Structure 1
Amino acid sequence: MTDGFDFSPGAQVPISGGAGQTAATQALASAAYRDGPMEELLKANSDWATSSVKPPRISLFEPNLGEAFARAVQQRMLGGGRKPLIQSFGMEPQVIVEHCLAASRIRRQRDARLTVLMVVFGVLFLPGVLIWLGVFQLRRTLAGAQNKRAGVLGTALLLVLAVLGAVLMVKLPFDGFLGVYLRAMMVAPIIGWAWAKTICERTAKDLRGRWTGLLDGGGIGAKIPEAVPKNPGESAAEQLRQNLERLSAEQKSNVVFYAGPKGILGMGTRWGSWQLAEELTPADPDKEISPFRSWDIMRAVHDQLRLLERTPINTGGLTPPFVEHWVVCPIGEGAGAVSRPADADASFQIRGAALQKICNEQHFGSGDRHYLGVQFVLWDGQLVITLLINVTVLHKTLRIEVTGHALGPIHPVFNGKPKNRTKTFRKGVKFWETWERRLPVVEAREVVRLAARAPLTWYPPLLEYWGGKLVLPEPFGLRHAWADKPWRHRFMADDALRAATPVLRVVHETAVRFLAEHGVNTERFSSRAGNLSGAVQDLSPRQADVYNA
């Protein structure tokens, strides 16, 4: 089909993450198809969250980057009884999870074939397979040592075993069936390895093709037939489908968490703050101020912020913003988990009377706080700019606070494309010239690792016990766990700084007009708003969440 959809059971999931939000989604989704050591992910740790690696007990069973990432994300995002997730603004977590499921399905199909080979060659010729695996494990252990000569020693041991096997083939002291079996015991694993190499090579090319396709902005959609129930009795498929729907609903939650100096998880640290705080006095001394509440001001500001993309002249302008009422819950800087408020409904949102109560009453002391947020998702989802507005009234003082938050692009580790393995040779006659030969995608030791892991992939907990795993940071969110700072990119930093000025002015103009309509003397408010309007033109990012004693 030309549109890239497959409506057969296990429908092909489109990989487009919505308008302007594809780059970050596809970069993270490509990690599910990658190869290489899983320690590469540790380079992408951010200031907001730090992942780690549980080391293997037997290095022959350790996963590569794609295997560890796909397994960890599936367990954390879809596992039963999981903890609440942090929203991933600027991307679609469900698409990333679907690609993790698709990558795991491809690997399971490969492992099923490798398991058959291991049963045929491993059970019938078990002593020989154990000898070969033992030598590869020894070589892998020695090669991982800091002394580089240890790797050479491991290779030498492998060559010694090969020579010894060849000698035994010729001068074996046994005859009859035992002699034939001993000879076959050393040769059969090599035949099985060659067969396994073909299977691994074909799968590796498929995974790398999907990896490259995602980073190029296209690629094949994720197929997850296990999430499509074919009959009412398939409870596992139905459960998976419900978990994916829950993931999408949780992504749309309007509850966020403030973690001290780490800022609001998923939105980034607070880099700027502008406060307008003046006394409420009546414009006419003979009349009282018309009664109003904080929610009334917020509703008026909300309506004006939705018009931010409009401009009096036809030249550029802001992209349509996403305006939302947020409930910010305070947690500790080193909190290991978050919990949704009791007021949240089945869709993980706080709406209606509960939202208005927080806005109108919870201005001082413990409890959650209400913020009106305007969010811009730019650079194909790589930059998320959020400006939050808070209105509080304490005694006779009305305070309108605008804070800026910025979350940068996904770490460059996720933007790397697969590299071909090549070896350079020098020509014999024209020794000053060289030529390159492309090597197979899968190395010999990688084939052994995959074949050794294949029988254990049917019970992942045992495989993780022996091979180690990727440990995701908590509280976990796909975006903030691997986000870089936006200030390293000149244009991204400019966009974050520029967005603050029009938002601040719209908020102040709307608030002053609202106060004037309700009989409030706005002279001091207008004067203070003018000062802030001038100061915001010379703003620079700073650590507004860090208070120096």
Structure 2
Amino acid sequence: MTVDGGYGDIFGPQVPRTGDEGQTATFALASAAYRDNPVEEITKADNDWHQSTVKAGKVSLFRPNLGEAFSRAVVDRMLGSGRKPLIQSFGTEPQVVVEHCLAANNIRRDRDNRLSAVMVLCGLIFLPGLLVWLLVFAIRTNIDKRDDRRASALATTLLVAVGALAVIFLIRMPFTGFWAWYSRAAVILPVVGWVLARRICENTAKDLRGRWAGLLSGSNIGAKVPEAVPSSPRETAAEGLRQSLAKLSAEQQSNSVFYAGPKGILGMGTRWGSWQLAEDLRPADPAKEIHPFRSWDVIRSIHDQLRMLERGPLNTGGFPKASIRHWIVTPIGENAKAVSRPEGTDVEAYQVKSHAIQDICNKQQFGAGDRHYLGVQWTLWDGQLVITMLITVTVLHSTLRIEVTGHALGPVNGLFTTAPEAPSKEVTKSFKPWETRTVKLPLVTTNEVVRLAVRAPLTWYPPLLNWLGGSVALPEPFGLRHAWADQPWRHRFMADDALRAATPVLRVVHAAALRTLEENGVDIEKFGVRSGFLSTAVQDASPRKADLYDA
């Protein structure tokens, strides 16, 4: 982490800390903090399992746009005091996304401070005139919402008519003395304030859109979050924010995950394939007994062999380096709205300790409780595809079962990868009605300036602003990556990568397990035959809904 003396890009170029494999997905999600689309578009990014909710406000004039609602909701959910546990965002760096949300909030807060000063000087002091102009704009906005061209023309006519009445009022003033000058100011200064507000809004919009475009193009757009760097021990707020960001990073590295039935393992995607090898444990020599061993011994042997996946007899590329970890999987309800991470002496900094992992692997194989899985995971396509193969070994009576399952998490929804476009519309040419031309529109519309100016004085108290204008309720249990992930099967090469990973992983797992069984005096003939059958079947792998049982 780099810190410059002028509080520039405090966190430096926001490159994901685990390498560059998560750059595209991370920056795509971070770009949502700078967007100015309608807030309702967030629901278009929802998938079959996780849905966002747009809560309507009391007054449409105070409604937020997508970037305002998204950045506020993400910061509150991921850094708020007493927040509920989060789901890991595999393939992305959630801290980077949160830092950009904080930076976007800071940019808007600076804009709102300037707009608030304009509102006080040109609006609140001349409240009667301000209220009249706001009423006119509110009526114009409601009329302009209709798609009918006549409605749009009527809205423009209304504004022109009110402007004409204002001019007549100024010329034929019914008051004299102080009230005459006050009335003139009440008519003119709100318009002057609107002109100043428009310039402020346009400058900020250019900055936000520049960052939006920069993130999607791969530029090193840094998040400016000076309030997360304490300059003295007495800055408790800055220290609290720094600790919250550190807590977020620690939870991202947790080895505890949650299985939500048909939704699969949250953060890893749905289970699309399952292959099971189960045979009886018989001694290779009838005169001798099997040498005692545990499930952990088989898992440890598989773990060592999986490290060799990136090596091959031919120099043809192949697997990149994989992440191989032991996972503790907790079952939750399909429609559960919250999760609870393991606690106690066996857990430290969200990590289940090694001795507890071994106990769960060896003992908790039937009935209630958490389960152990060994996972090999690849983050591909710049974080847009996360492939996870999970292995579990169980022994019930004299039957040993080795199960390999495939999970895949697809790319983030296309909403997050769309670049900003300059506002424009096509109009018919005056002398050639059979032809059209493109006309550039203002970056910030009249209605948008009014909306931002009205919201500005209330941004100091977000709960009131959310009540008046509305907000976004994020899908729970919440994790940045899986909440807006699409299925990978619509992308040909992503689907191929997911399917191709199954065969070599399955064969390595079986080879390592059979070697351990043979070393411990187990007759592996039936295991070998069964492994051969599975090795043949896995070559015809096809994605299916493995968690939807036809029962």
Instruction: Give 1:290's aligned amino acid.
Output: H
Instruction: Give 2:281's aligned amino acid.
Output: L
Counterpart for residue 214 of structure 1: 215
Answer yes or no: is 1:255 the counterpart of 2:252. Answer: no
SS of the aligned residue for 2:325 comes to strand
Counterpart for residue 471 of structure 2: 469
- Deviation of the 1:4 alpha carbon: 9.8
Counterpart for residue 113 of structure 1: 114
Pairing 1:352-391 to 2, within 5 Å after superposition: 352-391=354-393
Instruction: Give 2:14's aligned amino acid.
Output: I
Match of 2:489 among 487, 490, 514: 487
Pairing 1:440-479 to 2, within 5 Å after superposition: 440-479=442-481
Pairing 1:61-80 to 2, within 5 Å after superposition: 61-80=62-81
Pairing 1:44-193 to 2, within 5 Å after superposition: 44-144=45-145, 152-193=153-194
Pairs aligned (count): 547
Q: What CA deviation, in whole Å up to 9, does each residue of 1:163-214 have, x standing for no partner?
A: 2111111222222222222122111111000001000000000000000000
Q: What CA deviation, in whole Å up to 9, does each residue of 1:218-240 have, x standing for no partner?
A: 14200100001111110000000
Q: Is the 8 A contact 1:226 1:237 kept in 2?
A: yes
Counterpart for residue 319 of structure 1: 320
Counterpart for residue 514 of structure 2: 512
Counterpart for residue 307 of structure 2: 306
Q: Is the 8 A contact 2:15 2:220 kept in 1?
A: no
Q: 1-side partners of 2:319 and 2:223: how far apart?
A: 33
SS of the aligned residue for 2:123 comes to helix
- Deviation of the 1:153 alpha carbon: 4.2
Answer yes or no: is 1:266 the counterpart of 2:267. Answer: yes
Counterpart for residue 280 of structure 2: 279
Q: Is the 8 A contact 1:6 1:12 kept in 2?
A: no
Structure 1 pair 146–330 and aligned structure 2 pair: CA distance change class (3 A): farther
Q: 2-side partners of 1:5 and 1:212: how far apart?
A: 25
Counterpart for residue 236 of structure 1: 237
Counterpart for residue 413 of structure 1: 415
Q: Give the structure-1-normalised TM-score.
A: 0.97
- Deviation of the 1:19 alpha carbon: 2.3
Q: 1-side partners of 2:412 and 2:160: how far apart?
A: 44
Structure 1 pair 471–145 and aligned structure 2 pair: CA distance change class (3 A): farther
SS of the aligned residue for 1:417 comes to coil
Q: What CA deviation, in whole Å up to 9, does each residue of 1:107-166 have, x standing for no partner?
A: 000000000000101122111111111221222234446877655544433232212111
Counterpart for residue 404 of structure 1: 406
SS of the aligned residue for 1:292 comes to coil
Q: Is the 8 A contact 1:12 1:224 kept in 2?
A: yes
Q: 2-side partners of 1:4 and 1:423: how far apart?
A: 44
SS of the aligned residue for 1:91 comes to coil
Instruction: Give 2:127's aligned amino acid.
Output: L
- Deviation of the 1:347 alpha carbon: 1.4
SS of the aligned residue for 1:49 comes to coil
Counterpart for residue 346 of structure 1: 348
Q: What CA deviation, in whole Å up to 9, does each residue of 1:386-431 have, x standing for no partner?
A: 0000000000000000000000000001111111112445555566
Q: Give the structure-2-normalised TM-score.
A: 0.96
Q: Is the 8 A contact 2:90 2:268 kept in 1?
A: yes
Instruction: Give 2:57's aligned amino acid.
Output: P
Q: What CA deviation, in whole Å up to 9, does each residue of 1:277-312 have, x standing for no partner?
A: 000000001111111111111111111111110011
Q: Is the 8 A contact 1:59 1:140 kept in 2?
A: no
| Mean CA deviation greater in 363-372 or 122-131 | 122-131
Instruction: Give 1:21's aligned amino acid.
Output: G
Q: 2-side partners of 1:408 and 1:456: how far apart?
A: 39
Q: Is the 8 A contact 1:68 1:470 kept in 2?
A: yes
Q: 2-side partners of 1:61 and 1:274: how far apart?
A: 54
Counterpart for residue 23 of structure 1: 24
Q: 1-side partners of 2:143 and 2:428: how far apart?
A: 30
SS of the aligned residue for 2:352 comes to coil
Q: Is the 8 A contact 2:34 2:104 kept in 1?
A: yes
- Deviation of the 1:482 alpha carbon: 0.2
Instruction: Give 2:56's aligned amino acid.
Output: P
| Mean CA deviation greater in 397-406 or 133-142 | 133-142
Q: Is the 8 A contact 2:257 2:265 kept in 1?
A: yes
- Deviation of the 1:349 alpha carbon: 1.1
SS of the aligned residue for 1:137 comes to helix
Q: 1-side partners of 2:337 and 2:366: how far apart?
A: 26
Q: Is the 8 A contact 1:46 1:480 kept in 2?
A: no
Q: 1-side partners of 2:370 and 2:492: how far apart?
A: 35
SS of the aligned residue for 1:323 comes to strand
Q: What CA deviation, in whole Å up to 9, does each residue of 1:16-72 have, x standing for no partner?
A: 122211000000000000002111110000123110100121011010000000000
Q: Is the 8 A contact 2:7 2:224 kept in 1?
A: no
Q: Is the 8 A contact 1:212 1:219 kept in 2?
A: no
Q: Is the 8 A contact 1:9 1:228 kept in 2?
A: no
Q: Is the 8 A contact 1:210 1:219 kept in 2?
A: no
Structure 1 pair 164–220 and aligned structure 2 pair: CA distance change class (3 A): same
Identical amino acids, percent of aligned pairs: 63
